[in-house]
């Protein structure tokens, strides 16, 4: 780890974050609708910040299997266009299938391309977005520059990143319960980045400013993550979504796994809401405009 808590880059130049997403793509594709429900409030926050209008064109980076690209498509309507990109081939292919199934091929265009390879002509879009992907970019400043170059003067850009660790129990409670029962820990993957990469105030905004963004605003927003589960079934629900929770659970005896589930259920009771666990969460919403808007 370096002083910022990051693992050093691999000497062979490979991207461990991309490798991890490639390995977990099948799970994300299978759980796509469930994950969309969990993060629904975050998607709404991003869309409201961008305020897409009918007929506009938007670029959504690290789109996964459709969030927030489909929400953007709903807002721009049949005369608008959304270009959705993802670095993982399986994700992009699954998104193409979902686009076709929804009859949106006329307004959602899917590209299998990594963010560091984006090369759309200047002024291609009215806006650009990325929801919870910037933490894993190999070079976030370069990615932000590429987004800004693709957006017209007067356009808008918005990024979502997870806020501080203490404000996001969704990521910590299950791990804490597993720690309590002595589940084997998982070491960091060399060169990888975590969900709290930009958790501290001002970190991501600073990157955006250095990349040439103007009128940068960084808001720490409280919202909820809605997990469809009762407290007693929460550990299994999170194991279906999180590879790291599943890997730690798989090595436990049934009795120890049940103890962990019980500990997590006790913590989650306060957040139980009619068949869901409404986890409190904090996210950074960083918005800005491309440099062309000020020249």
pLDDT tens-digit map of 117-156 = 999 999 999 999 999 999 999 999 999 999 999 999 999 9
Mean of all residue pLDDT scores within the chain: 90
Q: 128 and 63 in contact (C-beta within 8 Å)?
A: no
| Phi–psi pair at 84, nearest 5 degrees | -110, 130
- What is the pTM (predicted TM-score) of this model? 0.89
Question: What is the Cα–Cα distance from 150 to 211, expressed in whole angstroms?
Answer: 13
pLDDT for position 24: 74
- Closest to 32 measured CA to CA, from 102, 113, 126: 102
Task: Return the percentage of the chain with pLDDT > 70, whole number.
Answer: 92
Is the confidence at residue 4, as pLDDT, over 50?
no
Angle, CA 293 vertex, CA 144 and CA 42 arms, to 5°: 50
Question: What is the Cα–Cα distance from 289 to 123, expressed in whole angstroms?
Answer: 12
Every domain of the chain and the residues it spans: 16-165+191-224+282-290
CATH of 16-165+191-224+282-290, one of 1.20.950.20, 3.40.50.150, 3.30.70.100, 3.30.70.2740: 3.40.50.150
pLDDT tens-digit map of 5-16 = 333 343 444 677
pLDDT tens-digit map of 9-55 = 434 446 777 787 677 778 778 888 888 999 999 999 999 999 999 99
Enclosing H/E stretch for 276: strand 276-289
Dihedral of CA 149/95/170/188: which sign? Answer: negative
């Amino acid at each position: 780890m370096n002083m910022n808590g990051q693992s050093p880059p691999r000497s062979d130049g490979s991207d461990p974050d991309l490798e991890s997403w490639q390995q977990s793509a099948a799970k994300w594709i299978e759980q796509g609708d469930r994950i969309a429900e969990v993060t629904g409030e975050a998607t709404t926050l991003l869309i409201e910040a961008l305020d897409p209008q009918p007929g506009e064109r938007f670029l959504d980076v690290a789109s996964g299997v459709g969030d927030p690209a489909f929400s953007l498509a709903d807002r721009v309507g049949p005369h608008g266009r959304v270009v959705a990109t993802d670095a993982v081939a399986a994700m992009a292919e699954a998104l193409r299938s979902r686009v076709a199934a929804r009859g949106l091929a006329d307004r959602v265009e899917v590209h299998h391309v990594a963010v560091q390879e984006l090369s759309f002509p200047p002024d291609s879009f009215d806006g650009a977005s990325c929801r919870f992907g910037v933490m894993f970019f190999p070079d976030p400043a370069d990615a932000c520059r590429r987004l800004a170059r693709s957006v017209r003067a007067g356009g808008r850009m918005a990024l979502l990143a997870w806020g501080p660790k203490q404000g996001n129990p969704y990521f910590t409670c299950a791990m804490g319960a597993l720690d309590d029962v002595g589940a084997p820990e998982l070491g960091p993957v060399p060169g990888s980045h975590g969900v709290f990469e930009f958790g501290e105030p001002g970190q991501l905004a600073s990157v955006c400013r250095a990349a040439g963004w103007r009128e940068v605003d960084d808001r720490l927003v409280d919202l909820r993550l809605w997990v469809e589960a009762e407290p007693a079934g929460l550990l299994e629900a999170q194991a279906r979504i999180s590879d790291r929770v599943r890997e730690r659970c798989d090595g436990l005896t049934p009795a120890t796994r049940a103890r962990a589930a019980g500990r997590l259920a006790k913590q989650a009771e306060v957040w139980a809401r009619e068949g869901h666990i409404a986890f409190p969460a904090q996210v950074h919403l960083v918005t800005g405009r491309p440099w062309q808007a000020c020249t």
